[in-house]
């Protein structure tokens, strides 16, 4: 167990809806990264938050957005859901912004879009 | 798109045998990390090797890095049924804050 928690565990949404996923970082960590993992593939970087600011973004459209709160927990919001958004969403926390080496992953949220 | 490619995509071995998997990446890196994932759950960090290192050991794990070939290998010795999982390499660029993952190797260790 890494101390990183995510909620909910599973979620089913309809195309066009909006979804919010939540992540609580490990104690002492101030950086949260979000990844999308499609079935049978490796995780792809969505974005990272460091001290409540976005600190890097992958190749994802603007309908993927996020927040980080003063306690360093984070949310991932996806608007106008598409079928291809069905995936496992992983968050990872680490102790410093861009310089951290090891990321601690949560168990993930499985999102199914129908 | 993913930077890394892993080989093989799947591996089936008997308990006690060694498992070797390879990873290639495309750009200069600061470090390369290996993760394990069980049944589509969260990723567990196994080992990190820095760009100035060539080999690293941790328990039954041995990782090599060849920056001239932009490749790495993970060796699991004396495998156990509990090692059954997907294994991913993830590279971190010299100036960057994200991990770029390969497609993974699915390892099945038969008892």
Residue B99 near chain A (CB below 8 Å): yes
B27: pLDDT confidence band, cut at 50, 70 and 90?
confident
Find out whether B58 and B25 touch, Cβ atoms under 8 Å.
no
DSSP H or E segment with residue A77:
strand A74-78
Q: Indicate left, alpha or beta for A97 from its phi (over 0: left) and psi (-120 to 50: alpha).
A: alpha
CB-closest option in B41, B45, B100 to A102? B45
Nearest CA in chain B to A103: B45
B1: pLDDT confidence band, cut at 50, 70 and 90?
very low
A69: pLDDT confidence band, cut at 50, 70 and 90?
very high
Neighbours of B103 (CB within 10 A): 18
| Partners of residue B90 in chain A, C-beta under 8 Å | 42-43
């Amino acid at each position: 167990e890494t101390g990183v928690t995510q909620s909910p565990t599973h979620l089913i949404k309809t195309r066009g809806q909006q979804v919010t996923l939540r992540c609580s970082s490990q104690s002492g960590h101030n950086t949260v990264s979000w990844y999308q993992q499609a079935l049978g593939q490796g995780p792809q970087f969505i974005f990272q938050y460091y001290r409540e600011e976005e600190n890097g973004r992958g190749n994802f459209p603007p309908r993927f957005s996020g927040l980080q709160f003063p306690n360093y927990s984070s949310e991932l919001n996806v608007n106008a859901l598409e079928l291809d958004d069905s995936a496992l969403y992983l968050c990872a926390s680490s102790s410093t912004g861009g310089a951290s080496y090891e990321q601690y992953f949560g168990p993930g949220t499985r999102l199914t879009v129908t | 798109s993913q930077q890394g490619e892993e080989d093989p995509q799947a591996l089936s071995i008997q308990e006690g045998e060694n498992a070797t998997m390879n990873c290639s990446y495309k750009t200069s890196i600061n470090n390369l990390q290996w993760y394990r994932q069980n049944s589509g759950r969260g990723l567990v960090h196994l080992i990190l090797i820095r760009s100035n290192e060539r080999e690293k050991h941790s328990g039954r794990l041995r990782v090599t890095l060849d920056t001239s070939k932009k490749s790495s290998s993970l060796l699991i010795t004396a495998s156990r049924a509990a090692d059954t999982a997907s294994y991913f390499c993830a590279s971190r660029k010299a100036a960057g804050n994200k991990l770029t993952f390969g497609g993974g190797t699915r390892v099945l260790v038969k008892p």
